[in-house]
Amino acid sequence: MRVGWSQRVSRSPVRLLAAALAVLIGFAAFAMLSPPRAAAEGENYVVATDITFAPFEFQDAEGKFVGIDIDLLNEIAANQNFTVTIKPLGFDAALQAVQANQADGVIAGMSITDDRKKVFDFSDPYFESGVQMAVLATNEDIKSYADLKGKRVAVKNGTEGAEFAQSIQDKYGFQIVSFADSASMFEEVKTGNSVAIFEDYPVLNYGIQQGNGFKTVTQKEKGSSYGFAVNKGRNAELLAKFNAGLKELKESGRYDEIIETYLGEGASEADNSFFGLLKSTFPFLMAGLKMTLILTVVSIAIALLLGIVFGLLRVSRSIILRAIGTTYVDIFRGTPLLVQAFFIYFGIPTALGFQMTALTAGIITLSLNAGAYMTEIVRGGIQSVDKGQMEAARSLGIGYLPTMRKVILPQAIRTMIPSYVNQFVITLKDTSILSVIGIAELTQTGRLIIARNYQSFTMWLIIGIVYFVVIMALTKLSDRLEKRISQ
């Protein structure tokens, strides 16, 4: 009898582990069966961009992707008889997507530099940019670069403004602080932590027209050219189509019309009050919240399965099974969620040569991360049950798995519920990190709106209230559920 019970102890977790692996393999298969990117000879291309870089690319009040870059790309696609699928990512993530062959090209107000030419193939220049310095409209102290001595200035990663600021930093003795998007850079100066920004002049002019409260105080510095880019040695036909279409747009005058649309005179007349913004952005915020809840519910369900499997491994008598459970927990609790998201979305597809959708990568990332914490919750819940329960079941000849299912786990669940709901809330908030791979959950939706209207304080206040309402509702639901179970 003792030998048979021991075999069941070792086999049951293995079967559960196999079931969990089958779920993950299913997700991988789903990722591999996702619509493939266009090859060079295809008619549809996936193009990555930074959708928070108005007026070159942003989301308008109707939720459409617009801007100089987007309009040019769409016009060129129509002219050259191909279609594009826009993949909205941050600037750094957009570049990685192309390098990882998750996208065919990138257009994001990207300066053509010698260093980037080593990694990307560029189109003909489609815009000649330049850099200006700006300060708050109420600032009368900063009028030139010389006034920056001993002060802080804000720049955006990877932009001409950042490069120019670095080139004159030693000469004028100021400190540079970098941000991932333009809205955060502007907000840095509004808070008083920095006194000025260096930014591409079209972005500055657009922001000033939108009433962001800034003014330019220097002349435009000569800048480099913007170009459309593909991975080195790939998608040569797409590059040729872009160049041919760009040439025809310039000859027809349509190019100048697009530029004038976004850089011409005209201030914003939008209602930027709290209730005005809430009314105009509510549909988009709800769409973002829907995606947040989908990510959370699916991920936490898978995480619970993983938690049960690896939780049983963690309490197993087998050293090997305990080692498997411990390794899983240590890996996903010991590395940042952001690193896991990048590795799963960019690293694994690059290494194995297949494409994965951002949604699939996001669910896998959240599931594996939350599963590690659920493992410890399950382990703690099982160990909180008196050992006599297992011994009593064994004395009656009940197997290990039936005992765990009918005796131990039902008692452990009561202990685990508060921690489980807490992990649900944590996972819901962790979905915001997935904005780095282009998933338009609630936080990313807020960033897209701010990139259009530059109303950072009001929009983050609204988003914070939405998160608070949802999380408080979940907490109250948890309290009622816990009371029912205890009764």
Domains of the chain by range and CATH? 2-33+273-486 (1.10.3720.10), 44-126+227-263 (3.40.190.10), 128-225 (3.40.190.10)
Taking only the tens place, the pLDDT of each residue in 37-51 is: 444 445 789 999 988
Distance CA 273, CA 483 (A): 42
Q: Tokens for 137, please give them.
A: 């409209």
Q: Residue 68: is its pLDDT beyond 80?
A: yes
Taking only the tens place, the pLDDT of each residue in 289-311 is: 999 999 999 999 999 899 888 98
Distance CA 92, CA 48 (A): 10
User: Are 429 and 244 within 8 A, CB to CB?
Assistant: no
pLDDT of residue 450: 78
User: Are 235 and 87 within 8 A, CB to CB?
Assistant: no
User: Are 123 and 250 within 8 A, CB to CB?
Assistant: no
% residues pLDDT > 70 (the chain): 86
Q: Residue 457: is its pLDDT beyond 50?
A: yes
Distance CA 425, CA 52 (A): 28
Distance CA 436, CA 341 (A): 8
Q: Tokens for 305, please give them.
A: 């399965």
Choose between 17 and 233: higher pLDDT.
233
User: Are 384 and 412 within 8 A, CB to CB?
Assistant: yes
- pLDDT tier at 250 (50, 70, 90 boundaries)? very high
For the residues 409-433, what does the mean pLDDT come to?
82
pLDDT of residue 30: 43
- pLDDT tier at 388 (50, 70, 90 boundaries)? confident
Choose between 436 and 149: higher pLDDT.
149
DSSP structure class, residue 407: I
362 sits in which H/E element: helix 358-384
- pLDDT tier at 272 (50, 70, 90 boundaries)? low
Distance CA 241, CA 79 (A): 9
**Phi/psi of residue 42, each to 5°?**
-80, 175
Taking only the tens place, the pLDDT of each residue in 215-232 is: 989 888 887 889 999 999
pLDDT of residue 184: 80
pLDDT of residue 113: 86
Q: Tokens for 184, please give them.
A: 């955060």
130 sits in which H/E element: strand 127-136
Task: Encode 204-264 in three state secondary structure.
Answer: HHHHHHCCCCEEECCCCEEEEEECCEEECCCCHHHHHHHHHHHHHHHHHCHHHHHHHHHHC
- pLDDT tier at 283 (50, 70, 90 boundaries)? confident
